[in-house]
A = this chain, B = another copy of it.
Amino acid sequence: MQASVHAAVRELEAEVGREALTVPLVAARAGVTPSTIYRRWGDLQELMSDVAVERLRPETAPEDKGSLRSDLEAWAEQFLEEMAAPTGRAYIRDALLGDPDGSNAGQCSAYAAEQIEVILARAADRQEDAPDAETILDRVVAPTMYRILFRPEGLDTTYVHHLLAGLLAPNDH
């Protein structure tokens, strides 16, 4: 049932646009009654939040570029590119807003933490020194997300390079 309702949201969003979505419309497409959707999700915002989190799930592991620095750089550039795109911003807002218990926002952060753990495991295999995952969340993921949500002007890959330079070579400058 969840899969067919999620699919109905994605199809209808592509066909009629986000603004025109309603619970009865989604229900009709998914072949369920509106009250089924209200019982399971409460309202359209909570349903949109669940769909957004599914869309924010990373599809592949971060690319292996041969070193911690280049792995983090490639991952952070892609994270910025995806999250700062209009679709990424819309998914983040949806994920945050129809999320009374905070579990969807927590899932978004868990996705980032999992990708970082993969990069850190590779660094450990290469016997590279590395900050821990929480530090990378604080120093790279958090400022990137903060800028996307609150201060997007002029945001580009220069910014994530600057964050990584501060994190990985604190004594170079």
Contact = CB atoms under 8 A, between A and B. Distances in A.
- Determine the interface band of chain A, counting residues with CB < 8 A from chain B: 20 to 34
Contacts of A96: 93, 96-97, 149
A7 interface: no
A170 interface: yes
Contacts of A139: 139, 143
A109 interface: yes
What's the number of copies of this chain in the assembled complex?
2
Interface of A: 93, 96-97, 102, 105-106, 108-109, 137-139, 141-143, 145-147, 149-153, 163, 170-171
Given A93-B97, A96-B96, A97-B96, A106 B142 contact: no
Contacts of A150: 105-106, 108-109, 145
A138 B165 CA distance: 13
A157 to B, nearest CB: 16
A151 B147 CA distance: 17
B109 A151 contact: yes
A8 B145 CA distance: 33
